[in-house]
Amino acid sequence: MTTTNPGTDAELARWQRFRTSRNTALASEYGWLTLTSFQWLEDKPAAVDLAPGLWSTDGTTAFLTAAAADGITLVETGSPVDGTITAALSDEESLFWVQYGGEDSRQVQVELAMRGGRYAVRTRDSTSPVLTEFDGVPTFGYRPDLVVEARFHPYPEPVDVPIGTANPLVDGVHRSVGELVFRLPGKDHEFRLQAEEEKLGALTVTFHDETNGESTDEWRKVSTARPRPDNTVILDFNRAINYPSAFTPYGTCPMPVKNNSLDYRIEAGEKEPGLL
């Protein structure tokens, strides 16, 4: 499914290992490829699609009422749900809460999520065709020329920038910690992308480019290692990946900040998942 252009053996080997790890992670049992619904909870007990029981919230706590005959068990302990259980989350938190169905009563897991200050549930079905028919994400061929050095310009303090998400009913926030400044082949001007900080000081940038909606999804992201002492990083667009919302309509993935758009065709990294 993936074709590669010539590069050094070491570069190709590292990239191929990255691609193998990426595809393996996507194909996990209750990963993003298994999402089958996203539903907001109401303030009165009500049924939801694809899951038994009655679900509700008072705004701070989520409630599930079910009978033993419904076959629902807790994900963490496997204990059956017979009566009413509760859970409380902070915004942007998720909990793999209960499961049901199939011979082992684990075919479907229900994720409780707090998004935009509201409770929602998402069902994750381990038999979803999106997962069972998955054969890896299509990618562009390896592009050594799109592995560039960037300089990180940190802000004095992080800046919270309001953004949209893949779900129009969910607002997001991009915590910008600084900008990555770099050049791309064939362009005589610098590019600047706002970055978020991840674990251990790594940086992630979410960006638009001129391939979006044609050969790639509407936006992608790419991560770097922690900046070196001189604040330089390697920005490898061959490692640009899709957000979960590229694979499922039930994601709430963050859009890029307004200025993270490149007037350039980044023909590297992951393509739109529906392309062969």
For 180-207, the pLDDT digits (tens) are 999 999 999 999 999 999 999 999 999 9
What residue has token string 């915590």?
Answer: 175
Q: Region 124-152: what's the mean pLDDT?
A: 96
Q: What is the mean pLDDT of residues 204-225?
A: 98
Q: What Å distances lie between residue 146 and 113, 201, 238, CA to CA? A: 37, 23, 7
User: How many whole angstroms separate alpha carbon 18 and alpha carbon 25?
Assistant: 11
C-alpha closest to that of 243 among 216, 262, 209, 203: 216
Q: Are 80 and 73 in contact (CB under 8 A)?
A: yes
Decide if pLDDT at 275 tops 60.
no
| Whether pLDDT at 276 is above 50 | no
Give buried/exposed letters for 17-40 (b at 16+ CB in 10 A, else e).
eebeebbeebbeebbbbbbbbbbe
The dihedral sign for the CA sequence 147, 149, 152, 153: negative
Q: What is the pLDDT of residues 145-174, one digit of tens each?
A: 999 999 999 999 999 999 999 999 999 999
What the block records as the tokens of 264 is 């350039």
pLDDT for position 8: 74
Q: Which residues contact 252 (CB under 8 A, 6 or more apart)?
A: 38, 113, 115, 165, 166, 167, 170, 172, 245
Q: How many residues does the chain have?
A: 276
Query: In the structure encoding, which two tokens stand for residue 15, read together?
Result: 């990239």
**Confidence at residue 274, expressed as pLDDT on a 0 to 100 scale:** 78
Q: What is the mean pLDDT of residues 131-140?
A: 96
pLDDT at 9: 83
Please name the amino acid found at residue 267.
Answer: E
Tell me the average pLDDT across 210-236: 97
205 touches 254 (CB < 8 A) = no
The H or E element containing residue 15 is: helix 9-26
247 contacts: CB under 8 Å, gap ≥ 6: 26, 32, 33, 130, 273
E strand residue ranges, the chain: 35-40, 46-48, 51-57, 62-66, 73-74, 83-87, 94-100, 108-115, 118-125, 147-163, 172-182, 191-197, 203-207, 220-224, 232-236, 241-242
As a whole number of angstroms, the longest Cα–Cα distance in the chain is 67
Q: What's the token pair of residue 110?
A: 């229900």
Please provide the distance, in angstroms rounded to a whole number, between the alpha carbons at the two ends of the chain: 7
- Joined tokens for residue 184: 């791309």
The continuous run of DSSP H or E covering 23 comes out as helix 9-26
* Contact of 266 with 146, CB cutoff 8 Å: yes
The predicted structure's pLDDT at residue 5? 46
